[in-house]
Amino acid sequence: MSEKAIISPLPGVFYRKPSPEEGNYVEEGQQVEAGDVIGLVEVMKNFHEIKAQERGTVESFLVENETVIDAGQEVAKLK
């Protein structure tokens, strides 16, 4: 199994949950399907969903909830 990075195409603030009151979209170690939402990026008052590109297990998140990220930054590793 090779590792794959999930990358944010946009700069902004990264969130792991749909809203402050809710739980995380996914936890580390969880199985995801292609197209599953793993986080949100808030950019210019818009929310953009970050999705897994393929099936796999989320090995680790590389950024915490509410971190400021750059375009092209890796947010999680999938294996």
Partner 1 sequence: MALIKKILIANRGEIALRIIKSCKKLGIETVAVYSDADQDLPFVQSADEAVNIGESQAQKSYLHMEKILQVAKIKNADAIHPGYGFLSENPNFPKKCEKEGLIFIGPDEKIIQAMGSKIHARNKMKEAGVPVLPGCEGIEDLDEAVKMAEELGYPLMLKASAGGGGMGMKVLQNKEDLEKAFNSTVQQAKNFFGDGSIYLEKLIENPHHIEVQLLSDHHGNTVHLYDRECSVQRRNQKVIEEGPSPFLSEAKRQEICETAVKGAVSIGYKNAGTMEFLVDENQNYYFLEMNTRLQVEHPVTEEVTGLDLVELQIKVAAGEKLPFTQEEVERKGHAVECRLYAEDPKTFFPSPGPLNTFKFPEDNTRLDFGYEEGDKVSPFYDPMLGKIITSGKDREEAIRNMEKALDGVTVEGITTNLPLLQQVMKDDEFVSGMYTTKLLQNMNDRREKVES
By the criterion CB under 8 A, which residues form the site for partner 1?
10-13, 18-19, 21-22, 43-46, 66, 68
Residue 29 CB, nearest distance to partner 1 (Å)?
A: 26
| Residue 8 · residue 73 · CB < 8 Å | yes
- The distance of closest approach from Cβ of residue 36 to partner 1 in the complex, given in angstroms and rounded to an integer, is 19
Spell out the residues 6+ positions from residue 66 whose beta carbon is closer than 8 angstroms to its own.
13, 14, 15
How far is Cα 49 from Cα 72, in angstroms, rounded to an integer?
14
Closer CB to partner 1, residue 75 or residue 78?
75
Shortest Cβ 53–partner 1 spacing (Å): 19
